[in-house]
Structure 1
Amino acid sequence: MAGDTEPLSPRAKLAVTAGKAAAAVSRAAGRGSGSVIGGKVALRLDPDLLARLARHLDVVLVSATNGKTTTTRLIAEALRANGGVVSNALGANMPAGITSALAGGSDARYGVIEVDEKYLAGVAGDVAPKAIALLNLSRDQLDRAAETRMLAERWREGLSGSKAVIIANADDPLVVWAASSSPNVVWVAAGQEWKDDAWSCPSCGGVMQRPGDDWFCAECGFRRPTPTWALSGDHVLDPHGSAWPIHLQLPGRANKANATTSAAVAAAFGVPPQTALERMHSVTAVAGRYDVVSYQERDIRLLLAKNPAGWLETFSLIDPPPSPVILAVNARGADGTDTSWLWDVDYSRLAGHPICVIGDRRLDLAVRLEVAGVDFQVCETASEAVRRCPPGRIEAIANYTAFQDLRRVVGN
C-alpha cells in the first residue's frame, strides 16, 4: 500500500544492489542504460521485488501503442507539483526496466510508469496502481504482438474489478471496451486519427458506425461513452466545463491529446489543470524525440514513428514541401521483424518533399514509396542522406532502432 515505509528485506536490498551493479557494468561496456539487464538480475534474486519497491508509492501506469512515453513524461512533470516522482523516463517498459526505475525512487511519493501493452495486467497486479491511463491500441510489431482485439481482451480481463481509477480514451472503441470492465473510469475525448484497427465492434464483431466524431455498433448497441474531459482546439475542457490553455513545446495534435489525458490523471491526484498544464511546458523533448540537432550545417528534427498510427500523426507535424525528409526503417528485434505494416501507411502524403531513404530495410520502404508514386533516393548511410539534402531544416522520421542509430550519427 502507498505510504508503507517498511524497509526492504535483506534479500530485496541485495537484489537492488546486484541489479545496479549489473546496470553499471552494462553502461561501462557501452551497451545502453543497463536498466533492462539490471532489472532482470534483481528480479532473478527477488521475484517479488517490483511489488516491494512500489509499496510506498502512489503509482500511475500508462499503456498504449502510441504516445505512452510522452504521456508518462507529461504526467510526471505535472505530479511533481505535489511531490517527488520516480519514472522509467527512457521507456524501458517491461517488468525488468520498471523494476530498475523504481529501485532508484526510495524517496519519491509517486511512481509514473510506462508499461508495454502486453504486460499491463501483470504489472498492475504487482504494483496496485492508484490510476491507469489507457491511450490507444493499434497494430504494432506484427511478428510477435497479439492482434489488437486480443490485447484489448487481455486488458479487459486484467482490469476487471480493478480498484484503480482508469483514465481512458473515449474515442478508441478498443480502449473503451477494455476499460468498461472496471468500476471506476474517467472518459477523455482525446481523439483518434488512425481508425483502421477499430472498424469492427470489439464486443460483437459487428461493423462500427462512425458519424462525425461519434461511434457506435448498430448490432449490439456498444457506443462511445460521454467524456468528462476533452481536448478542444488548444484547450483542455475539465468536468466543470472550464477551458484551460495547453502550454506545450512539443508539437502536434497528438501531444495536445496526451496533455489532456495527463491533466485528467493529475487531477485524480489533486493537481489542478492549470498547474498541471503549466508544468508540462517545461518538456521540450522526450528521449530525443522532437529534438532539433545541428549536423553538417543542417538542422535535423528527430521524429519517432514505429507503426502506421504513429506515421500518420508524424506526417501532420512536418514542415510543408519542399522541406527535405529522411525516412529510416529497421526491422530488428525491438522493432518487430515484419515490415508488412509499411503498406498500411499513406506515404502519398509526402508528395512534393525531397526524400532520402536509409536503414536496414530501406529497400522494403523504397518499394512502398515507388508504389505510392513518391520520388525518393536510396542512401547507404545517414551521413550520405544528410549530404544529399539542401542546407536548412530536415525532417528525419525513423522507427525505433533506426531512430537510435540516427541519434548516434548526428550526435544527440
Structure 2
Amino acid sequence: MAGNSDPLTPRAKLAVTAGKAVAAASRAAGRGSGSVIGGRVALKLDPDLLGRLAQNLDVVLVSATNGKTTTTRLIAEALRAAGPVVSNALGANMPAGITSALAGGSEAKFGVIEVDEKYLAGVARDTAPKCIALLNLSRDQLDRAAETRMLAENWREGLAGSKAVIVANCDDPLVVWAASSSPNVIWVAAGQMWQEDAWSCPSCGGVMQRPGDDWFCGECGFRRPTPTWALSGDHVLDPHGSAWPIHLQLPGRANKANAASSAAVAAVFGVPPQVALERMYQVQAVAGRYDVVQFQDRDLRLLLAKNPAGWLETFSLIDPPPAPVILSVNARSADGTDTSWLWDVDYTRLTGHPIFVIGDRKLDLAVRLEVANQHFQVCDNLDQAVQMCPPGRIEVIANYTAFQDLRRRVGN
C-alpha cells in the first residue's frame, strides 16, 4: 500500500541507477527508449527489484490480447484524479520494461501497468496488485504464445486466491474461466466481437451455446456471469443502474469497451465514473495509434491491428468506401513469424475500398486478398502506395513492427 517509507535497499538503488544509465546510453545511441535493456540490467543486479519498486504503490495490472495499451492509458488518466501515476505507457510490458517504468516513478501513488499475457501470473506475484483488469484472450503470435486455452489456464492458476480485485470481461468465456478462481471479481459486460476462440467450453471442452449476447456450456453448465458494469451504446452502466456518457477522442466500439472496463477499475480506487470518463477524453492517441499525420499532401490515419480480433475491430471503424486503405504486415520476432493468422481475418469487409499492400510479408497478404476476391495493388513501400491514392484521407492498417516502421517513415 502507498506509504512514505523508502523500500529501496542500497543494492536496489544501485540497480535503479545502473538501469537508468544503460537506458540513457541506449537512447543516445539511437537504439530506442532503452527501457527494456535498462530493466534487464537492473533486474540482474537486484532480482527482487520489481517487488521493491511496487511496494509503495497501489498497483493495477492490465492484461489482454487486444486493448491493453489503450486501457492502461485510460485507467492512468482516470486515476490521476486521485494522485500521481507511474505507468509503462509505451507498452514495454514484460518484467524488464515494467521494472524500468516503475523505477521512474518515485513520487507516484498508483502504478498502472500493462502486462504481456504470458507474464501476468509472475508480475502479479511480484507486485501484489490491488486490482487486475482482464479484457480478452484471442489467438496471437502463434509461434510464441501458447494457444488461448493454455493461457487462460495459466491465468486461472496464477490468480487463484489472489487478494486483488479482478475486473473481468464477462462476455469472453476464456477470461471468465481464468478469473473464476479468484474470490473477488467485478464482471463487466464489455462485449466480444471476435468469437472464434471461444466455441468450446474452457472448463470441459463441450460446445458453447451463444443465444443473443448470452453464452453457456450445454454440457457442464459453465455460463456467463451477471455483470455489475456494462457498456450500453455510448454509455457505461454502473452497479447502481446509472448511465454515464462516454466521450472519447479514440474511435470505435472497442475503445468504448476499454473505457467501460477502465471506469470499473477507477471505481475500485474511489474515482467516480463521471470523473473517470471525463478524464479519458484527454487521450487523443496511444503510442501513435489513431494519429492522423500529414504525409505527401495526404492525411494518413495510423491504425494498429496485430491479430484477427484486432483487424476485425479496426475494419469496423475505418471510413466507408471508397476510402483507400494501405495494409502493411511484417513477421519479425516481435510480431510472431507465423503469418497463418491472416487466413482467419475476414478481408471481404474491405470490398469497395482501393487496397494497397506493403510490408515484409506483402506477398503472403496478397495471396490472402486474392482468395477473398479483393482488388489490390502490391507496392514497394509506403511512399509508392500513398502516391497511388487520391488526395484526402487514407486508412493505414499495420501490425506491430510494420506500424513502428510506418511511424518512423512519417516522422511520428
TM range, normalised to the smaller chain?
over 0.9
Structure 2-normalised TM-score?
A: 0.99
Q: Which runs of 5+ in 1 are unaligned?
A: none
Describe the SS at the equivalent of 1:255.
Answer: helix
Paired AA for residue 169 in structure 2: N
Structure 1 pair 7–182 and aligned structure 2 pair: CA distance change class (3 A): closer
Paired AA for residue 251 in structure 2: P
Equivalence for 1:391 = 391
Give the distance between the partners of 1:83 and 1:267, measured in 2 at CA.
Answer: 14
Give the distance between the partners of 2:15 and 2:323, measured in 1 at CA.
Answer: 51
Q: Is 1:22 paired with 2:26?
A: no
Equivalence for 1:304 = 304
Describe the SS at the equivalent of 2:383.
Answer: helix
Paired AA for residue 171 in structure 1: D
Paired AA for residue 368 in structure 1: R
Task: Give 1:2 deviation, angstroms.
Answer: 3.4
Paired AA for residue 44 in structure 1: K
Give the distance between the partners of 1:71 and 1:204, measured in 2 at CA.
Answer: 31
Give the distance between the partners of 1:198 and 1:341, measured in 2 at CA.
Answer: 16
Give the distance between the partners of 2:107 and 2:355, measured in 1 at CA.
Answer: 48
Give the distance between the partners of 2:34 and 2:344, measured in 1 at CA.
Answer: 34
Deviations 1:291-312 (A, max 9, x none): 0000000000000000000000
Equivalence for 1:120 = 120
Give the distance between the partners of 2:326 and 2:401, measured in 1 at CA.
Answer: 15
Equivalence for 1:140 = 140
Q: Which runs of 5+ in 2 are unaligned?
A: none
Task: Give 1:4 deviation, angstroms.
Answer: 5.6
Give the distance between the partners of 1:305 and 1:320, measured in 2 at CA.
Answer: 18
Describe the SS at the equivalent of 2:397.
Answer: strand
CA contact (8 A) 1:4 1:55 kept: no
Equivalence for 2:210 = 210
Give the distance between the partners of 2:106 and 2:338, measured in 1 at CA.
Answer: 40
Give the distance between the partners of 2:81 and 2:224, measured in 1 at CA.
Answer: 33
Paired AA for residue 167 in structure 1: V
Equivalence for 2:104 = 104
Give the distance between the partners of 2:400 and 2:29, measured in 1 at CA.
Answer: 22
Task: Give 1:189 deviation, angstroms.
Answer: 0.1
Equivalence for 1:347 = 347
Paired AA for residue 347 in structure 1: Y
Equivalence for 1:236 = 236
Describe the SS at the equivalent of 1:373.
Answer: coil
Structure 1-normalised TM-score?
A: 0.99
Paired AA for residue 243 in structure 1: A
Equivalent pairs counted in the alignment come to 412
Structure 1 pair 125–7 and aligned structure 2 pair: CA distance change class (3 A): closer
Equivalence for 1:53 = 53
In the TM superposition, structure 1's runs of 4+ consecutive aligned residues that sit over 4 Å from their partners are none
Equivalence for 1:13 = 13
Give the distance between the partners of 2:232 and 2:291, measured in 1 at CA.
Answer: 26
Task: Give 1:7 deviation, angstroms.
Answer: 4.2
Paired AA for residue 276 in structure 1: A
Q: Is 1:93 paired with 2:93?
A: yes
Give the distance between the partners of 2:328 and 2:18, measured in 1 at CA.
Answer: 37
Equivalence for 1:378 = 378
Describe the SS at the equivalent of 1:225.
Answer: coil
CA contact (8 A) 2:206 2:219 kept: yes
Task: Give 1:6 deviation, angstroms.
Answer: 2.5
Describe the SS at the equivalent of 1:409.
Answer: helix
Give the distance between the partners of 2:223 and 2:3, measured in 1 at CA.
Answer: 39
Give the distance between the partners of 1:367 and 1:161, measured in 2 at CA.
Answer: 48
Q: Is 1:193 paired with 2:171?
A: no
CA contact (8 A) 1:292 1:302 kept: yes
Describe the SS at the equivalent of 1:186.
Answer: strand
Give the distance between the partners of 1:27 and 1:6, measured in 2 at CA.
Answer: 29
Describe the SS at the equivalent of 2:62.
Answer: strand
CA contact (8 A) 2:7 2:56 kept: no
Paired AA for residue 301 in structure 1: R
Identity %, equivalent residues: 86
CA contact (8 A) 1:2 1:54 kept: no
Describe the SS at the equivalent of 1:19.
Answer: helix
Describe the SS at the equivalent of 2:118.
Answer: helix
Paired AA for residue 370 in structure 1: E
Give the distance between the partners of 2:198 and 2:344, measured in 1 at CA.
Answer: 14
Task: Give 1:411 deviation, angstroms.
Answer: 1.3
